Structure 1
Amino acid sequence: MPRQWPFAGREEDLSRVAELLQAGPGVLITGPAGIGKTRLAAEAAANYGEVIRTVATEASREIPLAAFAHLLPASGAAGNPIRWGADLIARPGLVILADDAHHLDPVSATMLEHLVRHRGAKTIATARTGHHVLDSLRKDDLLARIHLDPLSEDGTARLLHGALGSPATDRTIRHLHRLSGGNALFLRELVTAAQDAGILADRGSGWDLSGPVHLSPRLTELIAAKLSRLDETERQVLDYVSLAEPIGLDLLRQLVPAVALESAEARRLIVCEPDGHRRQIRLAHPLYGEVIRNTCPTLRRSRRQRELALALASTGARRSDDTLRVAVWWLDSGFPGDPSMFLRASRYALATLDTPLATRLGWAAFRADGGVETGAWLTQLLNLAGEHEQAATVLRGIPAPADEASLTTLTEARLQAYGLGLRQLDQVKRIYAEAIGRLRTPTHRARIEAVYAYQLAVLLDCRPAAHLPEPVNDPVLAAYTAHAKTTGLVHLGRYRQAADLAGRVLGMADGWRNARPMALLGLELDRHTATLLGGDPATAEHTVVVDHEQALTERLWPAWIGLRLMCRARSARYAGRVREASRQAREAFELTPFAHRGIVLGEVALAAAYGGDADTAAEAVQAVADAKHPTGYRILTFWAELARPWIAALTSDSPTVVKTGIAVADLARAHDLPAFELIALHDLVRLGAAETVHDRLIRAASAHEGDLAPLLADHARAAGDGPALLAAARRYERLGMILYAAETAAQASAVFHRPGPRPEAIFAGAWAFALAARCPGANTPALADLRDPGLTSRETEIAMLAVTNMTSKEIAEHLVISVRTVNNHLQSVYGKLGINGRDALGALLP
């Protein structure tokens, strides 16, 4: 990384400063410390030849002419010091760079004003927000003011790119932008600390953070200096806000004097923001909190947290997240707490998909109680974290309950622990049989049947889940049932039913989210898969982009963000944006906690294989096979199996490819997974082995819902039929499946070429090449023999103008050539592309 960071992120501000200097003699740049005022001023001054700099510090404010002392002789002025100094310094075209002008001593400030007002000098001054600087120049419109706001997220991204030499990942940009608050100085210190710690590195998909960023000693000192010289009540304000932000103004007024709040606000240590009918207090910068918390003694911190909890509890904890805040403060204070409070807070934390916090509170509830409800809840959380053996240990210590409600709760936890967790199918069946024989209440039985069916589905037995009855009016039971049923339906090829059911139950999530938060992500994943495989890739991608962006905005647990990003990668792969798919899949893998990474590996493998990277694809598939990232979601790891024939196509001969692909299809059939069987069979069509699977694929496709399965069947039927292959390619293109369209057009070109080169073959090849150009990173076998049609730069230029409906005469006038030359070039273009006229040009040009 360069010692001085490049100038980036402030290009518009620099242009504005330049405009103001053109229009008048001076500009004052204001903003908080570290925001980039000095660098902006220096970049603006670099456009001028005669530049001098003043040197102003807090220590020199009482020394006359201290800011200009380095420019003046040691002997003092005989008369007027202002005129004397100005006579020595003034010259044509002079620009005075007055950094930290709020530290100028009065005589220096007066001389600077004199040079600007009477000697033709220009000035570029900087000052911290809130200081009155060079007021007489500003009053007479001789000094324009520009205030620097924090860098935008885009500005942060550009600055990071310039400093690091290549782009950072989106999540790293967001995280560093939030931490730095758009402050360039803080950003540099954070990046330096992260690189020194080895957690910021270029991992292929861009510079990425692999762990939390800790403050460097220098950055801590910078912030500590800002927070120095606080009195006791101001320190109380910052203690409370750092532990609780955002904290309601009314709550804070119970804890500290109003004058202390006003003082902290005046010193720009806190900000007051409206929040509906309330006002919330935050620290003025995100990093202040970390410094304050790190320097707060343990006993004082514990006391502050208890005081916060008591104060909020005394108000009745009216807002939905108040219970969570009270529980966390109480837990962190170290004082004994109420298990029911911890349990309620844990449920709320999971409803917001903050799994680590939910687990922490779950342990607190269980340790304070040890009963069925808290124990069963804790085991669900431990399973989510991949702590399956520990979950089973907790369950073994819970005595058998006598009532049906507790039995239902405990049975659900045991099914999940031995199903999703330990993958012990026999145990799952035994637990279910024992419980269902004892349960009599219909809602209890329906809930356990749904949980049991879901365990079977994720362990590759989808029929029981698909055959569950439609959800009833009870929203919580509907979530249990739909979570299982959509998983079964989507993998049996019943895409429309799955997408419709997922959409309906997600639409009433407010009624069940707190009770069954895990169903939220499951239904979103099933809806995406059903919509995508059902033949509506555009809707599938739009929906998952919205879901993913919402997860980022709400800063959900990384697993939820990672799995949504995995779905985005799948959508990108189906659309043909292979490089994007590969990047997103790798980023999703890094984001997803260890216990759930196996789910993402299939997409990592497929995206790598589509890009021709056999090693990465094979490594990902082997990691699934070796259970390096063990998961009970076997249904979701099956995607890795689909990568095997693609890897074989990159590393082996055609018979091996066919044998591998049929083995994958047979495995899917053996587990009664029609959706995966159809994909595996069609992949062999894409890999040139349609004749081997033609009949089987057509039969398989007939059992699937949606618009995509019939197209896959028609693609298989079209093998060896050039026009039919082109028709299939057009249908793929209309669906937005551009890579599929490119491969099918390439197959058509090969068919047309068999009797020898013909216009149809040339056209199909040119169209396939143009389609492939819309698939960045794609390197599949069907594209290997495509050739650039070989248009010259002039032919391309004329063709591009022709598709805009310009006549030959208009093109000739535009390019200052003859009409005959235009027509000759167009005829050459038509011949190279295998077409007869302009109508087909648009589809064949990049």
Structure 2
Amino acid sequence: MTWEYRRTEQFDVVRRAWSSGHGVLLSGPAGIGKTALARHFATSIGRRPLWIIATPGMVQTPLAAVASVVETERLGDTAATVETLRARVRSGEIVVVEGAEYLDPSSEAVIARLFTSVACAGLLTARDAAGPVLGRALGAAGVVEVAMTPLELNTVAEMVEHRVDGRLSVDDAVRLHRTTAGNPFLLIACVDSAFDGGSLTVEDGVIALDGAFGGSPDLLDLGADRLERANDAERELIDLLSLCEPLPRAVVDHLGLADGISDAEGGLVLPLDDAVVPGHLIYTAIRRATMGLLERRVRASRLADAMNAVDGGPIGRVHRARLCLDYTMPISAGDLAESAALAFMMGDFPMAERCARAAVTAGGGLGALLQLARAQSGMGRSALAHQTLDGVDPDSLDADELGGYAISAALTFLVGDGDHSGAVTVLDKFEPRLESAAALSSFAAVRALAHVNAGAQAAALRWSRRAQALAAGAPLWTSLGEYVEAESLRRSGEVRRPVHLASDALVQAGQLGSVLATGARRTIVQALLADGDVGTAAAVADKLLEATLLHHVPRAIACATRAAVDIARGQHEPALRLCAESLQSLGEYDRTGLGRGVAMLVALVCAETGDVDGARRAVEQSTRGTVAADGWGGINPRLAAAFTAVAEGELIAPSAVLRDIAQTCIRAEQWTDAVAVLHCAVRWGDVEAARMLTEAAATCEGRTVEVQRRHASALAASDAEGLVLVSGQFADLGFIPSAVDALGQAVVAHRSAGRAGLADTLLTCLSALQGRCGPLDTPALRAALGPAGLTRRESEVTWLLASGESVQQIADRLSVRAPTVRALAARARAKSTVTGH
């Protein structure tokens, strides 16, 4: 694994500081990559590292750190020692001080004088602050501190895949990222030990990572040594965490183990929100391997009793049910049913099904049966859910029971079948028999959800507000109503209110589980993207990926949400990985419509990168499970088909499809989606779409939409300078593919106006801009790099011929005659000859 593969921004910061004549202090925890970056930077500038290494054991020995690099006879003379180091720097070496915080006072004085007397003397690494003498000297010398940050989630996945040569699931990437805290050293140790121990395998290019993987011998020794030095509270917490992670803080306090929680990095047990987690996976792995069965059962019994005695929150109650089921400890049918409902709300549908089935067996009655059906439909097994509900006679139920039954049946249609009208029909049938405000609120919230998924904007907004107004004492349904209102307003073109409302829903959803929280975070991410805040959108999406329990639909939504951010930034490889994980999470039974949307995102990536085969597979995936071929339900398959046509070389017909889809969005008052769809066509050079976008964007908020509107106006006016300005604005926001396309269109506009010199200058900028994202092969880029003056039809014929299609195939595809294709190709060749392409 090489440092270059990390692609971190820190290297650029070091390079800029060095170019300005400043030394650099690299700070961060052990293993974060300080030494590797220092070595890589020295190599990049052609300098030999002169290593001065300080350790904790050297602090009391004068000049211990510099003794290995300076002749013995000079060690007693500070000035001579400094001059020796200066001479070595002038001869082409670069000083690299390892562990600057452990320098003995004499060595610290030498290094201080060196850095204040020589510009760009070298680099220092430190975990903690340097001593007072060195600290003042570094400040006087203008040394720039560069904080080494942990690896991002995508980088962790890339490094593992690079090392093992396979595709890592998002779940495993999240777990490794959390386990290693983004530390490269720990990541390498975990992955290598898992591979050597057989708990990491690669089959058909897919990495399988066993949850119980251990560590390398060195890491195991370090872990065992730390466990030997653990106090009683630490040891007990690690034992409990080996059975249940995370542990609710309330349970820890109840057991009197708070002294075992560390407040510093590197501790055995660390706090995480309202819970505690192991400082590293190796500690719990060691205890799981060494704890006997009887000891494990005793610990599990104590933990279950503690969870029963205190309110450990939803996670604590679900964990208690799991422990009782795993170790055959007694638990009531009511507790199992409650745990099933909590697990369902948190998105852990397999656990919800397991608890609900056990509750039914234990005599849990109607509530357990209904929860079983919800869990089955949540996993896409709607046939089983319908079969489970067939055993219930609605006419025998009272009003409250009937409300629960109807909600379960509606969710089976809505989630399991993707049949929004079927869900509403169930609610219509049983609503007249409801009595309580809470039941009416639940019906209104589920109606709102069905309508927003069906694209019925006004109805969704109306029912979402009704759900909030009916029952203030039913937080689940009022929160769901608030979320649907936020999503409806976002689709209508707003940005600020959706973020506010979804954030409010998220606060309540934090107490209710991750299904609702997943939807709320997704709405926030999409609104932030519309407002041009890509950085915050990525952070919120990462938080969603790192949620404790992500299974099936919630996990699929989380992956697709993060993929949308990566696509906007032009990070196509991680986006495709996330989309694949999303589709895998949904499985073959998906009828929610989410799978169609994710497959459409795959087709979009393929269109931007020229992957024709990948786009065609995405069309098949997007078409699968589509209930409606026309209207709102058929939009994503049509988009996927249009993107595939563009990847193949078409322009005019796909643009017309996008304009038609935008009209469907507008009729449903989905203004944000209309603008997004039209902007794709604008990037393809469609002037008619540009005029439509200019009008549609007038109803929308957000910086991104405003730049998209300017892009459309500049394209329609063939305004090369305006396109250059728009490109810069897209780049500043982080939307690199859009920036590349706008700049490519500026190149074409300059050429068309006879300004070849300006066009050639922009080509250099275009190449640099492309380097900020993954490989691109868009129509705008092809046009900028190809012959000047081609019409859109001539471009289509040129690209289709280059892809290997025959004249007759192209004629059939474009609905023109073969002689017309030949004439278009001849004109394109003539223009190519004139311009030298």
Give TM-score, length-normalised by structure 2: 0.62
Query: 2:186 corresponds to which residue?
Result: 182
Equivalent residue for 1:405, pick from 400, 407, 411: 400
Equivalent residue for 1:365, pick from 359, 368, 391: 359
Q: Is the 8 A contact 1:685 1:716 kept in 2?
A: yes
User: Are residue 420 (structure 1) and residue 415 (structure 2) matched?
Assistant: yes
Q: How far 1:293 moved relative to its partner?
A: 5.1
Give the partner amino acid of 1:623: Q
Query: 2:718 corresponds to which residue?
Result: 722
Distance 1:312 1:435, change over 3 A: closer
1:673-692 Cα offsets, whole Å, 9 max, x none, are 5544443333223212324x
Q: Which aligned pairs between 1:453-532 and structure 2 lie closer than 5 A?
A: 453-468=448-463, 470=465, 471-472=468-469, 474=472, 475-491=475-491, 493-496=492-495, 499-507=496-504, 509-515=506-512, 517-532=514-529
Equivalent residue for 1:627, pick from 621, 625, 628: 625
Equivalent residue for 1:449, pick from 437, 440, 444: 444
Q: Which aligned pairs between 1:441-840 and structure 2 lie closer than 5 A?
A: 441-468=436-463, 470=465, 471-472=468-469, 474=472, 475-491=475-491, 493-496=492-495, 499-507=496-504, 509-515=506-512, 517-533=514-530, 536-538=531-533, 541-549=535-543, 551-552=545-546, 554=548, 556-557=550-551, 560=554, 563-578=557-572, 581-582=575-576, 584-586=578-580, 589=583, 595=590, 597-627=595-625, 638-639=635-636, 641-662=638-659, 664-665=661-662, 668=665, 673-691=670-688, 693=689, 696-706=692-702, 708-709=704-705, 712-713=708-709, 715-719=711-715, 721-723=717-719, 726-731=721-726, 733-735=728-730, 736=733, 737-758=735-756, 761-762=759-760, 768-787=766-785
User: Are residue 191 (structure 1) and residue 195 (structure 2) matched?
Assistant: yes
Give the partner amino acid of 1:727: G
Give 3-state SS (helix, strand or coil) of 1:198's partner.
strand
In 1, the alpha carbon distance for the partners of 2:382 and 2:406 equals 16
In 2, the alpha carbon distance for the partners of 1:195 and 1:714 equals 53
CA RMSD, 1 decimal: 5.5
In 2, the alpha carbon distance for the partners of 1:414 and 1:279 equals 35
Give the partner amino acid of 2:462: H
Q: How far 1:730 moved relative to its partner?
A: 2.0
Give the partner amino acid of 2:682: V
Q: Is the 8 A contact 2:744 2:784 kept in 1?
A: yes
Q: Which aligned pairs between 1:78-97 and structure 2 lie closer than 5 A?
A: none
Q: How far 1:621 moved relative to its partner?
A: 2.2
Equivalent residue for 2:381, pick from 358, 379, 387: 387
Q: How far 1:578 moved relative to its partner?
A: 4.4
Q: How far 1:190 moved relative to its partner?
A: 0.7
Q: How far 1:504 moved relative to its partner?
A: 2.6
In 2, the alpha carbon distance for the partners of 1:678 and 1:591 equals 30
Q: Is the 8 A contact 1:665 1:678 kept in 2?
A: yes
Q: How far 1:318 moved relative to its partner?
A: 6.4
Give the partner amino acid of 1:626: R
Give the partner amino acid of 1:356: P
Give 3-state SS (helix, strand or coil) of 1:467's partner.
helix
Q: How far 1:717 moved relative to its partner?
A: 4.5
Equivalent residue for 2:432, pick from 437, 443, 464: 437
Q: How far 1:416 moved relative to its partner?
A: 1.0
In 1, the alpha carbon distance for the partners of 2:528 and 2:632 equals 18
Give 3-state SS (helix, strand or coil) of 1:466's partner.
helix
Q: How far 1:455 moved relative to its partner?
A: 1.5
Q: Is the 8 A contact 2:579 2:598 kept in 1?
A: yes
In 2, the alpha carbon distance for the partners of 1:255 and 1:512 equals 28
Give the partner amino acid of 1:364: A
Relative to structure 2, which stretch is displaced further, 553-562 or 673-682? 553-562
In 2, the alpha carbon distance for the partners of 1:576 and 1:279 equals 36
Query: 1:42 corresponds to which residue?
Result: none
| Structure 1 stretches lacking a partner, 5+ long | 3-7, 29-44, 46-150, 789-846
Q: Which aligned pairs between 1:102-121 and structure 2 lie closer than 5 A?
A: none
Q: Is the 8 A contact 2:353 2:376 kept in 1?
A: yes
In 2, the alpha carbon distance for the partners of 1:755 and 1:152 equals 49
Identity %, equivalent residues: 17
Relative to structure 2, which stretch is displaced further, 554-563 or 460-469? 554-563
In 1, the alpha carbon distance for the partners of 2:274 and 2:671 equals 54
Distance 1:299 1:434, change over 3 A: farther
Q: Which aligned pairs between 1:326-337 and structure 2 lie closer than 5 A?
A: 326-337=320-331
In 1, the alpha carbon distance for the partners of 2:755 and 2:209 equals 57
Relative to structure 2, which stretch is displaced further, 245-254 or 634-643? 245-254
Query: 2:74 corresponds to which residue?
Result: none
Q: Is the 8 A contact 1:379 1:413 kept in 2?
A: yes
Q: How far 1:431 moved relative to its partner?
A: 0.9
Q: How far 1:553 moved relative to its partner?
A: 6.7
In 2, the alpha carbon distance for the partners of 1:701 and 1:159 equals 41
| Structure 2 stretches lacking a partner, 5+ long | 3-30, 40-48, 62-67, 69-148, 787-837
1:721-741 Cα offsets, whole Å, 9 max, x none, are 333x53255245325234333
Equivalent residue for 2:372, pick from 369, 374, 378: 378
In 2, the alpha carbon distance for the partners of 1:489 and 1:278 equals 32
Give TM-score, length-normalised by structure 1: 0.61
Give 3-state SS (helix, strand or coil) of 2:784's partner.
coil
Q: How far 1:390 moved relative to its partner?
A: 1.9
1:66-114 Cα offsets, whole Å, 9 max, x none, are xxxxxxxxxxxxxxxxxxxxxxxxxxxxxxxxxxxxxxxxxxxxxxxxx
Q: Is the 8 A contact 1:582 1:604 kept in 2?
A: yes
Q: Is the 8 A contact 1:365 1:374 kept in 2?
A: yes
Distance 1:775 1:515, change over 3 A: closer
In 2, the alpha carbon distance for the partners of 1:715 and 1:278 equals 47
Give 3-state SS (helix, strand or coil) of 1:369's partner.
coil
Q: Is the 8 A contact 1:457 1:465 kept in 2?
A: yes
In 1, the alpha carbon distance for the partners of 2:189 and 2:330 equals 43
1:677-711 Cα offsets, whole Å, 9 max, x none, are 443333223212324x4554455444545455565
Give 3-state SS (helix, strand or coil) of 1:722's partner.
coil
Query: 1:829 corresponds to which residue?
Result: none
Q: Is the 8 A contact 1:502 1:527 kept in 2?
A: yes
Q: How far 1:188 moved relative to its partner?
A: 2.7
Distance 1:505 1:549, change over 3 A: closer
Distance 1:575 1:189, change over 3 A: closer
Relative to structure 2, which stretch is displaced further, 698-707 or 322-331? 698-707
In 1, the alpha carbon distance for the partners of 2:32 and 2:494 equals 46
Give 3-state SS (helix, strand or coil) of 1:778's partner.
coil
Distance 1:532 1:226, change over 3 A: closer
In 2, the alpha carbon distance for the partners of 1:558 and 1:734 equals 37
Give 3-state SS (helix, strand or coil) of 1:182's partner.
helix
Q: How far 1:276 moved relative to its partner?
A: 11
In 2, the alpha carbon distance for the partners of 1:161 and 1:442 equals 53
Q: Is the 8 A contact 1:482 1:502 kept in 2?
A: no
Q: Is the 8 A contact 1:602 1:621 kept in 2?
A: yes
Q: Is the 8 A contact 1:283 1:289 kept in 2?
A: yes
Distance 1:321 1:592, change over 3 A: same
Q: How far 1:432 moved relative to its partner?
A: 1.6
Query: 1:243 corresponds to which residue?
Result: 243
Q: Is the 8 A contact 1:658 1:684 kept in 2?
A: yes
Give 3-state SS (helix, strand or coil) of 1:537's partner.
coil
In 2, the alpha carbon distance for the partners of 1:697 and 1:355 equals 41
In 1, the alpha carbon distance for the partners of 2:674 and 2:279 equals 57
In 2, the alpha carbon distance for the partners of 1:502 and 1:388 equals 33
In 1, the alpha carbon distance for the partners of 2:668 and 2:273 equals 56
Q: Which aligned pairs between 1:35-74 and structure 2 lie closer than 5 A?
A: none
